[in-house]
C-alpha cells in the first residue's frame, strides 16, 4: 500500500513521533525500489513537488492544523523531516548515477586483468577413436585406407556385390533410396549406402592384385533408433586379394586383430553364415571380455554374453568368385577374403556403454567421461 499522509488529531509528542516514523519508513521503502532515472524523478516529485507532494501535504495536514501552542514543536519536526526527505532524494540520485556509470564502464572498457574466455580443448569422439584404433591395427598389417561416396548407386551397393535385382538378401538391408530416380535403370539409381562394401568394388576397379585395404565410413539404414539400432552408424570393412589367399589367412588375420583390440587373452570362433558377396561366409564371435568367456560373473549369469561366454562381433568370408567377374579379376588366378564390422558395436564393448544413441546425442556430460 502506498503511503498516504494521515490527518493528525493528537499532537502529543508520542503521536508526532509515530507519524514521523511512518513517513520516514515509507520514504526508505520507496527509495529502495528505485532502479532508473525515471523511477527517481517520480520519487522526487512524489515527495517534494510543491503542489500536492507528500511534504506539502504534511505541511497542510500537520503544521497548519496544529493547535497554536503546539505549532512550534510540530514545525520543528516537519522541518527535520523535510531535511531527511531531501537527503534521501539526493542519495537516491547518486545511486542512479552510479549504476549508470557502472553500466557504461561495463560496455565500454576492457579490463585486461580479467581472465579470458576459456576455449576448452575438444577430444576425439569415442566412435572416431575406436575407428582409428581398428584402422591402425590393420595398417600395422600392411593394409591401406580407402574411402568412397556415402551416396552410391544400386550397382555398387548391391549388384556388383552379387545381390541381383529382386534377390531376397536385399531385403535384409532396409535401404534409404534417393527420391525421384524411377526413370533411371535400377543399377544407376542413387541410394544411401547400406554398408561400406561398395568401396571394395571401387577399389578393385582401380587396383590390380595384390589388394589389402580397409574401408572405414558412415552407412545408413532405414532403422528406427533404439538402444541397439541407429539409422546412421559406422563400419569398417577389409579386403585382401592376392594369389593363394586361404581361409586360414582370414582366420589368422581376424584372430590377430581381435587380440590387438581386446587383449591377447581373447579367443575367436567362426560360424557358418551367409553374405551374397562371400563364399563361404562366417560370423565371428570373440570370447566374452566381461566374464573371460566363462558365461558367469560374480556367481551369476553374465548379462553381456547372456551366459554363453561369446559375443558375436563381425562377418567375413572368402570373396565370392562371382564378384571378381564385375571387376575384371581372374577368379582362377586370385583369391581373397573380406570382413566387416560395426564400429559402434565395438565402441559399446570397449567403453561399456549400453545405448548406441548416446554416441549421437552429443551430450557433453556423456562424452567427457571418456576424456
Ligand atoms: Zn560374458
What is the Cβ-side half-sphere exposure of residue 355, based on CA atoms within 13 angstroms?
Answer: 8
Q: List, for residues 8-40, the tens digit of each pLDDT value.
A: 888 888 888 899 999 999 999 998 888 888 999
Tell me: pLDDT of 54 over 70.
yes
* 305 Cα: distance to centroid of ligand 1 (angstroms): 4
Q: Residue 123 above 90 pLDDT?
A: no
The SS3 of residue 346 is helix
Q: Measure 276 CA to ligand 1 centroid, in angstroms.
A: 31
Q: Is the peptide bond before 280 cis (omega within 30 degrees of 0)?
A: yes
Q: What is the pLDDT of residue 108?
A: 65
| C-alpha 350 – ligand 1 centre gap (Å) | 14
pLDDT in tens, 177-232: 899 988 999 889 999 999 999 999 999 999 999 999 999 999 999 888 898 899 99
Instruction: Calculate ∠ Cα 59-65-66, nearest 5°.
Output: 95
Confidence (pLDDT) at 141: 95
The alpha carbon of 270 and the centre of ligand 1 are apart by a number of angstroms equal to 18
Burial class (CB in 10 A: 0-12, 13-18, 19+), 129: middle
Element (H, E) at 277: none
CA distance 188 to 184: 6
Question: What size, in residues, is the chain?
Answer: 371
Angle at 158 between CA 157 and CA 162, to 5 degrees: 135
CA–centroid distance, 285 to ligand 1, in Å, is 12
Name the pLDDT band for 298 (thresholds 50, 70, 90): confident
Tell how far the Cα of 361 is from the centroid of ligand 1, in angstroms.
28
Residue 78: name the closest of 24, 3, 4 by CA: 24
Which tens digits make up the pLDDT trace of 136-189?
999 999 999 999 999 999 999 999 988 888 877 777 778 888 999 889 998 899
Cβ–Cβ < 8 Å for 253, 240: yes
Task: Give distance in angstroms: CA of 292 to centre of ligand 1.
Answer: 7
> Cell numbers at residue 54, please?
507528500
Cell 500500500: give the residue.
Answer: 1
Specify the pTM. 0.66
Compute, in angstroms, the gap from residue 271 CA to the centroid of ligand 1.
18
Amino acid at each position: 500500500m502506498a503511503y498516504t499522509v494521515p490527518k493528525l488529531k493528537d499532537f502529543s509528542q508520542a503521536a508526532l513521533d509515530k507519524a514521523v516514523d511512518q513517513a520516514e519508513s515509507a520514504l526508505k521503502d520507496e527509495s529502495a525500489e528505485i532502479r532508473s532515472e525515471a523511477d527517481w524523478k517520480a520519487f522526487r516529485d512524489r515527495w517534494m513537488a510543491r503542489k500536492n507532494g507528500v511534504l506539502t501535504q504534511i505541511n497542510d495536514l500537520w503544521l497548519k492544523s496544529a493547535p497554536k501552542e503546539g505549532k512550534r514543536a510540530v514545525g520543528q519536526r516537519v522541518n527535520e523531516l523535510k531535511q531527511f526527505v531531501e537527503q534521501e532524494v539526493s542519495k537516491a540520485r547518486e545511486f542512479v548515477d552510479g549504476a549508470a556509470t557502472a553500466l557504461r564502464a561495463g560496455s565500454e572498457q576492457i579490463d585486461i586483468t580479467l581472465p579470458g574466455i576459456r576455449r576448452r580443448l575438444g577430444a576425439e569422439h569415442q566412435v572416431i577413436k575406436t575407428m582409428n584404433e581398428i584402422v591402425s591395427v590393420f595398417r600395422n598389417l600392411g593394409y591401406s585406407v580407402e574411402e568412397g561416396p556415402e551416396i552410391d548407386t544400386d550397382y555398387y551397393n548391391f549388384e556388383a556385390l552379387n545381390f541381383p535385382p529382386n534377390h531376397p538378401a536385399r531385403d535384409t538391408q532396409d535401404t534409404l533410396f534417393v527420391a525421384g530416380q524411377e526413370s533411371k535403370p535400377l543399377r544407376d539409381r542413387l541410394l544411401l549406402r547400406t554398408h561400406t562394401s561398395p568401396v571394395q568394388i571401387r577399389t578393385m576397379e582401380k587396383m590390380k592384385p595384390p589388394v589389402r585395404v580397409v574401408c572405414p565410413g558412415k552407412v545408413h539404414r532405414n532403422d528406427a533408433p533404439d538402444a541397439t539400432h541407429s539409422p546412421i552408424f559406422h563400419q569398417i570393412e577389409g579386403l585382401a586379394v592376392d594369389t593363394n589367399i586361404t581361409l586360414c589367412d582370414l582366420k589368422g588375420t581376424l584372430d590377430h586383430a581381435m587380440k590387438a583390440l581386446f587383449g591377447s587373452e581373447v579367443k575367436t570362433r567362426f560360424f557358418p553364415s551367409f553374405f551374397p558377396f562371400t563364399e563361404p561366409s562366417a560370423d565371428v564371435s570373440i570370447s566374452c571380455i566381461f566374464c573371460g568367456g566363462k558365461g558367469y560373473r560374480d556367481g551369476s549369469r553374465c548379462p553381456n554374453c547372456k551366459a554363453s561366454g561369446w559375443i558375436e562381433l563381425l562377418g567375413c568370408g572368402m570373396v565370392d568368385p562371382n564378384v571378381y567377374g564385375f571387376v575384371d579379376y581372374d577368379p582362377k588366378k586370385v583369391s581373397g577374403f573380406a570382413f566387416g564390422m560395426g564400429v559402434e558395436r565395438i565402441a559399446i564393448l570397449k567403453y561399456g556403454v549400453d545405448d548406441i544413441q548416446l554416441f549421437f546425442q552429443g551430450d557433453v556430460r556423456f562424452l567427457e567421461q571418456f576424456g
